Structure 1
Amino acid sequence: MRVLSRRGPAVIAVAAAMVGAPSCAPSAATVTVTPPPEHVGWDYQIGGGYTPPTGVKVVSRDRQDTPAPGVYNICYINAFQAQEHAEGDWAPDLLLRDASGAVVYDKDWDEAVLDIRTDAKQERIAAKVGTWIDECAAKGFNAVEADNYDTFTRFPDYLKGDHAKAFMKLLSTHAHEKGLAMGQKNTVELAPDRASVGLDFAVVEECGQWKECGEFADAFDDNVLVVEYSATGLSQACMGWDGTLSIVRRDKDVAPKGESGHLRQTC
């Protein structure tokens, strides 16, 4: 994992009351889904919440955290991989396996990769992830960022971009039904497909470092929240996009303020 819409509200058709996996069937009911404001101060707090610094208008926090008062809140979920040591929370057949039957791991994070290769498995995984989205909505978050959309780029022997897009569309449909905007996490390869997948904005790690900010800005009409983890990355992002995108530098552990290693810088 590389730690890599429209202005104004969007009206999204929502499905009838759901049972089980998210449904894509529209009904006459509508909800208003509002993407985050563009080009504002923001903070990436997925390692633990703390009082947003002065001027911050958007915050992203883990789904198990609570929203920050008075700002736009994005709910972070790990949608394409199991959390570390959480393999047991998933049915064994929903974990991606190699030819010998061993679980495939993202070794950088010691996280088992989820198997999204069939419609049936996508729906079962989406049913579980959908409960997390429900929790985000119930807590008062405004949007969701679903991490590890890019598993297909790291495990191409098993997963394809079409698998990722089909699964993400289930999640974005469900988020919209709950009144939440859906953000694309990294994955520049699929940025041009954002509208068909139902993605409203982007949360992008190190686009300055990897010189990808322009591609995300074009695809998402500048509704891009950038987090860099190095001085070089921050300098590159600020040099090209300070007047357009929302940019912050955080420490790699995204430690809360007051804890060892905490770092937050802006342009």
Structure 2
Amino acid sequence: MRTRTVLLTTAMALVAVLGTAGCAEAAPAGGAGTARAASTAGYTNLPTSGRPDYQLGGAYAPPSGVTIVERDSTAKPAKGTYSICYVNGFQTQPEAARTWTKSYPSAILRDRAGKPVSDPGWPDEMLLDTRTAAKRALITKVLAKTIARCGDRGFDAVEFDNLDSWTRSGKRLTRAGNLALAKSLVTTGHRHGLAVGQKNTPQLGASGREQTGFDFVVAEECVQYRECSAYTKAYGKRVIDVEYADTLERSWGSVCRLTSRPAMTILRDRDLVAPSSDEYVFEHC
């Protein structure tokens, strides 16, 4: 998670969901999209070409030519596009912290003193505990309702943020534990008719697709961090890259001229605000 896009609406919806978490079945997503790839086992994978937009800071009418839109799980999919649903899968949303600690305390990672372990960069987000099968099953159960809602609303896909939380856990979590949870979430997403995207985590290489079951990638700043080839070697053209205007160290034109970047690369403002804001940035190659 390289951008801060925690919404009050997200947290409020998650609080409501947590109280009634379960594996509610949903009809396979017929999808809001017209930009399609071949369907696989009841879900439709990310198209290999198109123009994406990343709307986590608030839903708005997609700019002209946009064919792929990612929105928060509390929003509705953008009509006429391939739509991706955002879910925080490995850390808690700030306003949902009380619900997690009260209703699902064993799902929270804790230090030796019993205090919750938070993301060092975002201390109001607690890390979820992926160390045992029982804890992973509980987390999956809690998130399953949100995943089902994504399918019910007509999203085509879901991506789970903070997959790499083990790298910020002070060595308490492991890659294996996080990937075991990821595989459970992928299975749940597929069951609800959704393709499932890997978020960041270039160190997985092809194993994210081959072993965990991810279908595509949503990367942040892979040009900036010189990570794009790790994704494109594993997923080919099914990679979306979001660069941020506040940290980009080269001109946008030079980014677009790079042959190493994913074809579906866009530039956004860090807070992913709507066009009505003076801070809004959206560019594409």
- Which deviates more from structure 2 when the two are superposed, residues 225-234 or residues 244-253? 225-234
Q: Which runs of 5+ in 2 are unaligned?
A: 5-35
- Which deviates more from structure 2 when the two are superposed, residues 47-56 or residues 148-157? 148-157
1:259 corresponds to? 277
Matched, 1:111 2:132: no
Task: Decide which of 223, 237, 241 is 1:208's aligned counterpart.
Answer: 223
Tell me by how many angstroms 1:237 deviates: 4.4
Instruction: Verify the 8 A CA contact 2:228 2:260 in the aligned structure 1.
Output: no
Instruction: Verify the 8 A CA contact 1:36 1:223 in the aligned structure 2.
Output: yes
CA distance in 2, matches of 1:144, 1:233: 31
Task: Decide which of 153, 166, 181 is 1:139's aligned counterpart.
Answer: 153
How many residues align? The count is 246
Tell me by how many angstroms 1:254 deviates: 0.3
Task: Decide which of 203, 206, 214 is 1:199's aligned counterpart.
Answer: 214
Tell me by how many angstroms 1:87 deviates: 1.4
1:94 corresponds to? 107
Instruction: Verify the 8 A CA contact 2:228 2:262 in the aligned structure 1.
Output: no
Tell me by how many angstroms 1:94 deviates: 1.1
2:266 corresponds to? 248
Instruction: Verify the 8 A CA contact 1:204 1:227 in the aligned structure 2.
Output: yes
Matched, 1:225 2:225: no
Tell me by how many angstroms 1:235 deviates: 5.5
Instruction: Tell me which amino acid in the other structure corresponds to 1:75.
Output: C
1:46 corresponds to? 56
Instruction: Tell me which amino acid in the other structure corresponds to 2:125.
Output: E
Q: Which runs of 5+ in 1 are unaligned?
A: 13-31
CA distance in 2, matches of 1:94, 1:34: 31
Q: Secondary structure at the match of 1:51?
A: coil
Per residue, is there more strand in 1 or in 2? 1
Deviations 1:126-172 (A, max 9, x none): 01111110000011000001000010122241111111110000011
Q: Secondary structure at the match of 1:217?
A: helix
CA distance in 1, matches of 2:252, 2:201: 19
Listed as ranges, the matches of 1:16-165 within 5 Å are: 32-90=42-100, 91-109=104-122, 110-165=124-179
CA distance in 2, matches of 1:136, 1:186: 21
Q: Secondary structure at the match of 2:68?
A: strand
Instruction: Tell me which amino acid in the other structure corresponds to 1:119.
Output: A
Instruction: Verify the 8 A CA contact 1:142 1:179 in the aligned structure 2.
Output: yes
Identity of aligned residues (%): 39
- Which deviates more from structure 2 when the two are superposed, residues 118-127 or residues 85-94? 85-94
CA distance in 1, matches of 2:145, 2:251: 35
Alignment RMSD, CA only? 2.0
Deviations 1:1-47 (A, max 9, x none): 3349xx942533xxxxxxxxxxxxxxxxxxx2211212311100011
Instruction: Verify the 8 A CA contact 1:228 1:249 in the aligned structure 2.
Output: yes
CA distance in 2, matches of 1:235, 1:188: 25
Tell me by how many angstroms 1:264 deviates: 0.8
Instruction: Tell me which amino acid in the other structure corresponds to 1:88.
Output: R
CA distance in 1, matches of 2:116, 2:76: 32
1:237 to 1:177, Cα distance in 2 relative to 1, 3 A: farther
CA distance in 1, matches of 2:194, 2:99: 25
Tell me by how many angstroms 1:202 deviates: 0.2
Instruction: Verify the 8 A CA contact 1:106 1:112 in the aligned structure 2.
Output: yes
Tell me by how many angstroms 1:236 deviates: 6.1
Q: Secondary structure at the match of 2:167?
A: helix
